Structure 1
Amino acid sequence: MKDVTPLVDGWTLRLPGTGAEAGRVGEPGGTVPAAVPGCVHSDLLAAGLIPDPFLDRNETEVAWVGRADWTYRTALAAHPTAHERTDLVFDGLDTVATVTLGDTVLGSTRNMHRSYRFDVTGALDAGPVPLTVAFTSAYEEAERVKALLGDRPNSYPEPFPYLRKMACSFGWDWGPTLVTAGIWKPARLEHWSTARLARVTPLVTVGADGTGRVEARIELERTAAGADRPLTVRLRVGEHTTHTPVPPGAQHVTAVTQVPGPELWWPRGYGEQPLHDCEITLTDPDAGALDRWQRRVGFRTVRLDTAADAHGTAFTLVVNGTPVFARGVNWIPDDVLPSRVDAARYRRRLEQAAAAGVDLVRVWGGGLYESDDFYDVCDELGLMVWQDFPFACAAYPEEQPLRGEVEAEARENVSRLAPHPALVLWNGNNENLWGFRDWDWEPELAGDSWGEGYYLGLLPRIVAETDPTRPYWPGSPWSGSWDHHPNDPGHGTAHSWEVWNRQDYTAYRDSVPRFVAEFGWQAPSAYATVRRAIGDDPLSPDSPGMLHHQKAGDGNGKLARGLAHHFPVPADFDTWHYLTQVNQARAVATGVEHWRSHWPRCAGTVVWQLNDCWPVTSWAAVDGDEREKPLYHELARLYADRLLTVQDRPGGMVAALVNQSAQPWSGEAVLRRTAVDGTVLAEARLPFAAAPRTVAELPLPPEVLPAADGKELLAVRAGAERALWFPVRDKDFGYPAPAWDLELAVRPDGTAQVTVTARVLLRDLLLQADRLDPRARTDRGLTTLLPGESATFTVRGWAHPTAQAAAAALRTVNAAVAPPATSPPRA
């Protein structure tokens, strides 16, 4: 059997010894301990040689790191082995490196997104032997390729399209410019004889009769002595096993196992997620087992419905024959230093997504093919994965040396991710087809290559050849062909950014895209995150540190204009911070409620974005310190199986009952026109029925529609669900000064329960738990209460609970709009 020796210990990082970088850290040419996996930035941080780039404006202080050359070294002890072959394997090198063992150059690399293997047989018979991985600055290589292939249009003034590296290393409108280098994935020695499993691609399908089928396409590598050996592949799926002979000399074999009537894998909310052990063992008749590959697989079918209909062209994921409205979020790398993201962190973030009702995660094209740890958790939680190929917001040359690298990484990663049932869609790029048409690329390119050949030619061919069990889509946004505008909302996928950039969020209601793959609204990080990362005193929206942690063009201006549509100018930073959080949640709610109410015409919303890679003002629901913003809790309401919302239709106002559950939803809806003081001015009771996976509409009687005088609202209740509708914007509504009663109860385990009872209408009541204690979390976000209603906030991680502190951490829209309270809240 193959032997594996991880290469973890004994690595050092040599500091720059010459050039402008020499002397910036430590002794020029000196060394510090290096972690593998890891990166230069994390090694320098661990050694105390650079400041934390996430704090204040330290990002600019460490910019030189990305422009320096770096060398990793270790010594490999003698590895006496009876095996015929020894390989040195790197699962990931970031990015431009030369690998040298002793005095022998093994090879060079230029792609972060693929693995590398070098034959070092015999080189370690006597030791120790020095191993060196010398990294050239990604900037240097990118500029070299740019000079070779010519300039291309780019949404960001950085050279990321000229090498295969995580694009957002070079900065984005939510991320810092921290251009990494290092051995970012595991390294090891593999000792083997006769033959090994070079690549395994399991194609998992379900026949019309419900029989599961696993077709394992296997590539072998043989030693010279093993070239003429007959071998056997044993394929086991659960309790079902087949043996497939491999003729002498063969380097490709296909093994097939049938599984009668397997339980199907479903997206969360549609069924369970059974997973089955899939094991492939390569055996020799004399030597026994030579190599083994093991993963988990799930049985399900997936297709993409793009049929033409009365509204244009559909874009609907169909899993196990069931059309799905995708309740999605966009995923960016969870740390701009991605080697720091481990299995536990993936699980925390994805469990947060699942708890918020999410059933689809789009891995965005400016990032990575994530670790198998990511996809393993998605498999377990029923989170469908839409995987972009790593191309984003730029024209990418199609000539060598890039084309060969793109093909190699695509083939490797399509094969690597094939076992995961959660993966339901491959997408060619982010916004590049749109950019060619709308961002003045075409005249600037003047016929030069820009990536179209990848998205419409190379990548669909690789997916079809390597894993034909999954659909491929050329890009997002993309309308299906050049016959339509790439971002035509009536065809395929759409990105809705005109609203954030130029309009009030109420403009989301002006269109019904077939699938909204990106839309969102900004807000700052949670208060404790801001305070940890930014030392400005006093804090203000435009204080130096806050501005540095706002990467979007005119981001603060857009935040201010968004607030101005609805609220008076905030009186202070705390009010600004709260109201921008409110506006973010309200904006996303406006879009999701509108688009979900138009199912099946609209078949999905993918909010930009779930997560952050550092502390920043951004579109994220979970900030860079892993704290949930109010948007996160709002997603749990918006993405619940049942959603009640008031919508304006051409024929009048309706209550839309969105039922994505498998059970019918019926009963009597109670509609009340209510005065600000809670007085019921009119009431109607109407029967409703929404079949499973459908939307029902309930026309609203005229008598329950509130007047537009700022003194009335509409409350609709259907079963456990409630919707409130305010006919005017907040600044025009007659909110009373906030007043409430508060009770605090502390459980034996230290969990605190803060119960607030409204004495008046309270709009968007928020308990900011991180103001109580930086470690504190609460289970709910923005909550609107009518007079006499109560809500309980459960707080964990609060070291010293007091009612007075809880009262001070409560905020409402009332306080931002109404005059000062004459009857103060009571704790």
Structure 2
Amino acid sequence: MEKSERLGVWSLSAMRWELKGFWPWVPVKGTSMEIGSELMGVTDWIPATVPGGVHVDLFRAGLIDNPYRDMASTHCEWVENRWWVYRTVFPAPSLAGEAIELICQGLDYEALVYWNGQLLGEHRGMYEPAVFDVTDTFSPEETVELLIVLKQAPDEMGQIGKTSETFTQKSRFNYKWDFSTRLVNVGIWDDIALVARQRCSIEELSVTTDTEDGLGLVRLLVGVKAYGEARDSVSMAVDVTAPDGRIVASTQIDIALGESFRHTLVVEAPALWYPSGYGEQPLYTVKIRLEDQATGALLDSRQLRTGIRKLEYVQNVNSPADALPYTFVVNGRKIYIKGANLTPLDHMYGNVDPARYEWIVRMAKASHMNLLRIWGGGVIEKPYLYELCDEMGILIWQEFIQSSSGIDNEPSKKPAFLELLARNAVSALRERRNHVSLTVWSGGNELMSAPNVPSTYEDSNLAMLRGLALEHDPGRLFLPTSASGPVQYITEERGVSHDVHGHWKYMNNPDHYRIYGQADHLFHSEFGVDGLSGPKSIRKFLSPRYQQPVSMKQCTVWRHHGEWWDTYDRDTELFGELATLESFADCSQWIQAEGLRYILEANRRRKFENSGSIIWQLNEPWPNVSCTNLIDYYNEPKMAYYWVAEAFRSRRASLDYASLHARAGERQQLPVYVSTDGESADCTVGAEVLDSRGQRLHEQTFSGRTEADRTLFIGMLNLEVPHTVDGLYYVRLSLDVHGEGTRKQADLYLFSTEGKHVYASALNLRGGELTAVPADAWQDNGGGTFDRVYAVRNTGSEALLHVYPVEHTDLYWMKADQAYFTLFPGEERRVQVTCKRKAGELFAEPSGSDENRQPEIAFSYFQAAARQQEQLNKAGTCDDQ
């Protein structure tokens, strides 16, 4: 990771900032032409946060309501149509050099910058820094007034529009997407700093790694810019330090000013960097110093951390000859991609606290993911996210800021747009290429030259981006778009699918299983299933009158928080009437988890004919009632998060099936598979068929030997569908990899003999009794993080479905090492719960001031909360019509 320890860097983010709103052009005019008096703003001066966003500052000043509650965001759309002036006044620091520069990293979106009333210049775009030379006006200790005027947000398109008409590089999800509302960020979303330049500085830096014949190669590209009176050359020293602190490679050379220099340092016996699940992530520190040849004075320095690894790309097994290489190879090992799409963490992306970035990456790693796709309708994220992924072994698929629009999806060819896109792309390429986690560049999201036909390298827009990637980061794969064809969407037609998208819904029982069970795509870079957020979260952003189960067809408030993702009809078809919000959430999350698990297992069965799955989506930037995310806006993991974590485990047994129901007495043959990311090993799978009381109705055992690069078909489960009291029967698999021990999998497969309302009987299970006893005290791990182990037991007479923990203080984010598992009578699990003190939660009600209060954990299960709530309120409907 790169550190901000360059000479003479003085951040202005810590200064006291103020913010004021105006009608357009008023800040430039200042006074009325007609009457000569000051033109007052639409707000007074209010405290501002940098980095940040206008909406959060307005909320904290009491000038807007919580835009995330009910439909209040519609009352805030005036904000994007005003001009906003940021102001700070400060004594100039004691900086000295040949030049002093003001560097604004995150002006969103179009800005005028004034230094003591003098216009320094204008800037457009949120990803390319605005750099102004203030040498002639800078005087240490003198008072400086810095004004940054942000014009109203450009009128860009949201999800529905014409991609060919795109004209900005502004994040488009802000303008309304299926998982967000229209709430267009305006503000300074990254750092602002003064930088003192000495005689020269490092203008360009590329550090990439490779291996050859057992040696580690650290390849440098360094460009040096001269300031003031130029001289012929300076001395450059480079040290590479191993994780244990030893300097393992170094060089010192003379370099001419104004030129680029390439050099390769060799590291013997390197500790290799691997993606999560395949090995460790040792990081080497690379430090570059520019020194005056005569005096040895330090002129500039840069320091970053990177991993040493060889990165390659190969075609899939049995791949068509014209397919792109969708299998990633790290240090000679094929990596099966287990990932998710990352949306911006918040509509107000400038206000995202580092703790939120760290938590979401840790949640990805904890669910056994090894890749995040940073989607082209969002943002090119801040460096800190990539640093975290370097540390945790999460590969990055980075898209440029382009996306489909529905009416047409063809990349824009507007000359002004292409010039802007190129500048922003070069800035991103040069800044992100130094991260070892970065693995793939893509031209954008769902770009198509015709319906269902992804754009290719032949498109002039994408050809330009490909050329820039080849110039600035030649070692990494550039894909034209995601999906990359030759068809866009998943299909049952065989032989035509390479990288595909879709679907985003549970495709109904039994169609879901046919569609995904028969597909033969090479890669699956976007797909999902929708499900409700938990009641704990929903009650934070919906008023009490809207907290009953309802279809989005009947409730505009629910529609405002997830219009596309209405699961009401789906869930009532599978479960029957749903009387409470808790019951609706229980059932909706179950089907989301079930649908996603099957897709992941179906894809993984074809490893490396299929080389990976990237779920849409890990997170959401604002609170939805229902969405395709695994973790909701408040960082509450849904049931699908835990079932995905099980499906992504390094070693696991899985079951193939064609439907959730079968007739009692019918003969079934269900294939059993074992997937592994490790080396070959002998294994045994035990299969049990049980009823809701835990009675074993059938047992089989299978043995075989796993292979690292393919999934093993280990045998066929043959059974006669049992007659059970409630029509439910369960298949549970246990995997014993010899020498590693047996682990009962947290998920099992639940089937029904009912054709209509397949899972209705599950709503009536009442014979379970849950106890959860702490096995130890809370362990303080520092940084506001605590662990505790609970012994969770079913002491009743019926199965407890989907057992999960809940944190009740709402002061902490929480995850468990397993959740939403089923306990049969007499069974016990030991569950480790991890809690982290919340930080940076926007638009939230005060959560209390007791900083010493520890987490409070209780365990619940399917329908337990629903039955409790049913005692408290009557079923109702949304009354906003």
> Are the counterparts in 1 of residues 126 and 169 from structure 2 also a CA contact under 8 Å?
yes
Provide the C-alpha distance between the structure 2 equivalents of 1:801 and 1:649, rounded to a whole number of angstroms. 42
Aligned-pair RMSD on alpha carbons? 3.6
Q: Which of 453, 456, 472 in structure 1 is aligned with 2:460? A: 453
Deviation sequence 1:457-487 (CA, Å, 0-9, x none): 11111111111121111111112xxxx3244
Q: Work out whether 1:124 is the aligned partner of 2:156.
A: no
DSSP-derived class of the 2:181 partner:
coil
Aligned position for 2:879: none
Q: How does 1:691-730 map to 2 (within 5 A)?
A: 691-700=707-716, 702-703=718-719, 710=727, 712-719=729-736, 720-722=743-745, 724-728=748-752
DSSP-derived class of the 1:460 partner:
helix
- Percent identical: 22
Aligned position for 1:824: none
Provide the C-alpha distance between the structure 1 equivalents of 2:104 and 2:276, rounded to a whole number of angstroms. 35
1:342 aligned partner, one-letter code: D
Residue 417 of structure 1, CA deviation: 1.2
Give the structure-2-normalised TM-score: 0.81
Provide the C-alpha distance between the structure 2 equivalents of 1:96 and 1:371, rounded to a whole number of angstroms. 19
Q: Which of 229, 233, 236 in structure 1 is aligned with 2:232? A: 229
Q: Work out whether 1:467 is the aligned partner of 2:467.
A: no
Q: Which of 178, 194, 214 in structure 1 is aligned with 2:218? A: 214
Q: How does 1:467-546 map to 2 (within 5 A)?
A: 467-479=473-485, 484-487=486-489, 490-497=496-503, 499-500=505-506, 505-506=512-513, 507-537=515-545, 539-542=547-550
Sort the Cα spacing of 1:665 and 1:361 in 2 relative to 1 into closer, same or farther, 3 A: farther
Q: Work out whether 1:643 is the aligned partner of 2:643.
A: no
Compare the two structures and name the one with the higher helix fraction: 1
Compare the two structures and name the one with the higher strand fraction: 2
Structure 1 range deviating more: 499-508 or 582-591: 499-508
> Are the counterparts in 2 of residues 100 and 133 from structure 1 also a CA contact under 8 Å?
yes
Deviation sequence 1:687-721 (CA, Å, 0-9, x none): 23213343111232534665799454443333224
Residue 801 of structure 1, CA deviation: 11
Aligned position for 1:275: 283
> Are the counterparts in 1 of residues 98 and 228 from structure 2 also a CA contact under 8 Å?
no
Provide the C-alpha distance between the structure 1 equivalents of 2:282 and 2:236, rounded to a whole number of angstroms. 25
> Are the counterparts in 1 of residues 657 and 671 from structure 2 also a CA contact under 8 Å?
yes
Sort the Cα spacing of 1:171 and 1:538 in 2 relative to 1 into closer, same or farther, 3 A: closer
Sort the Cα spacing of 1:813 and 1:701 in 2 relative to 1 into closer, same or farther, 3 A: farther
Q: Work out whether 1:321 is the aligned partner of 2:338.
A: no
Deviation sequence 1:529-557 (CA, Å, 0-9, x none): 11112113251244999753545875354
Aligned position for 2:22: 16
Q: How does 1:280-319 map to 2 (within 5 A)?
A: 280-287=288-295, 288-306=297-315, 309=318, 313=323, 315-319=326-330
> Are the counterparts in 2 of residues 162 and 396 from structure 1 also a CA contact under 8 Å?
no
Residue 778 of structure 1, CA deviation: 6.0
Provide the C-alpha distance between the structure 2 equivalents of 1:772 and 1:93, rounded to a whole number of angstroms. 37
Sort the Cα spacing of 1:241 and 1:551 in 2 relative to 1 into closer, same or farther, 3 A: farther
Aligned length: 784
> Are the counterparts in 2 of residues 762 and 813 from structure 1 also a CA contact under 8 Å?
no
1:749 aligned partner, one-letter code: A
Q: How does 1:814-825 map to 2 (within 5 A)?
A: none
Structure 1 range deviating more: 734-743 or 34-43: 734-743
Aligned position for 1:445: none
Q: Which of 576, 579, 583 in structure 2 is aligned with 1:571? A: 579
Q: Which of 629, 633, 639 in structure 2 is aligned with 1:630? A: 639
Residue 164 of structure 1, CA deviation: 1.0
Q: Which of 200, 203, 207 in structure 2 is aligned with 1:202? A: 207
Sort the Cα spacing of 1:373 and 1:310 in 2 relative to 1 into closer, same or farther, 3 A: closer
Residue 42 of structure 1, CA deviation: 1.9
Deviation sequence 1:729-760 (CA, Å, 0-9, x none): 77346657321233342466366846331644
Provide the C-alpha distance between the structure 1 equivalents of 2:866 and 2:152, rounded to a whole number of angstroms. 52
Aligned position for 1:163: 168
Residue 136 of structure 1, CA deviation: 1.0
Provide the C-alpha distance between the structure 1 equivalents of 2:634 and 2:542, rounded to a whole number of angstroms. 13
Q: Work out whether 1:407 is the aligned partner of 2:430.
A: no
Sort the Cα spacing of 1:584 and 1:56 in 2 relative to 1 into closer, same or farther, 3 A: same
Aligned position for 1:339: 350
> Are the counterparts in 1 of residues 273 and 309 from structure 2 also a CA contact under 8 Å?
yes
Residue 518 of structure 1, CA deviation: 1.1
Q: Which of 745, 750, 766 in structure 1 is aligned with 2:803? A: 766
Residue 241 of structure 1, CA deviation: 1.0
> Are the counterparts in 2 of residues 71 and 133 from structure 1 also a CA contact under 8 Å?
yes
> Are the counterparts in 2 of residues 622 and 628 from structure 1 also a CA contact under 8 Å?
yes
Q: Work out whether 1:589 is the aligned partner of 2:605.
A: no
Residue 566 of structure 1, CA deviation: 2.5
Provide the C-alpha distance between the structure 1 equivalents of 2:143 and 2:382, rounded to a whole number of angstroms. 32
Provide the C-alpha distance between the structure 2 equivalents of 1:510 and 1:172, rounded to a whole number of angstroms. 31
Aligned position for 2:86: 72
DSSP-derived class of the 2:166 partner:
helix
Structure 1 range deviating more: 618-627 or 696-705: 696-705
Provide the C-alpha distance between the structure 2 equivalents of 1:566 and 1:302, rounded to a whole number of angstroms. 46
1:529 aligned partner, one-letter code: S
Provide the C-alpha distance between the structure 1 equivalents of 2:194 and 2:765, rounded to a whole number of angstroms. 69
Provide the C-alpha distance between the structure 1 equivalents of 2:288 and 2:218, rounded to a whole number of angstroms. 11
Provide the C-alpha distance between the structure 1 equivalents of 2:631 and 2:562, rounded to a whole number of angstroms. 21
Sort the Cα spacing of 1:721 and 1:399 in 2 relative to 1 into closer, same or farther, 3 A: same
Give the structure-1-normalised TM-score: 0.86
Aligned position for 2:451: 438
Sort the Cα spacing of 1:624 and 1:550 in 2 relative to 1 into closer, same or farther, 3 A: farther
Deviation sequence 1:71-104 (CA, Å, 0-9, x none): 1122353456542211111112111111122343
Q: Which of 108, 112, 132 in structure 2 is aligned with 1:98? A: 112
> Are the counterparts in 2 of residues 496 and 519 from structure 1 also a CA contact under 8 Å?
yes
Residue 154 of structure 1, CA deviation: 6.0
DSSP-derived class of the 1:656 partner:
strand
Residue 772 of structure 1, CA deviation: 8.3
DSSP-derived class of the 2:602 partner:
helix
2:861 aligned partner, one-letter code: L
Sort the Cα spacing of 1:542 and 1:65 in 2 relative to 1 into closer, same or farther, 3 A: farther
Aligned position for 2:877: none
Residue 197 of structure 1, CA deviation: 0.9
Unaligned runs of 5+ in 2: 1-5, 31-39, 242-246, 660-667, 737-742, 779-787, 837-852, 872-881
> Are the counterparts in 2 of residues 766 and 810 from structure 1 also a CA contact under 8 Å?
yes
Provide the C-alpha distance between the structure 2 equivalents of 1:241 and 1:760, rounded to a whole number of angstroms. 68
1:407 aligned partner, one-letter code: A
DSSP-derived class of the 1:537 partner:
helix
Deviation sequence 1:481-511 (CA, Å, 0-9, x none): xxx3244665432111264478854343231
Sort the Cα spacing of 1:235 and 1:487 in 2 relative to 1 into closer, same or farther, 3 A: farther
Deviation sequence 1:652-675 (CA, Å, 0-9, x none): 5311111222352413x3333444
Provide the C-alpha distance between the structure 2 equivalents of 1:31 and 1:460, rounded to a whole number of angstroms. 46
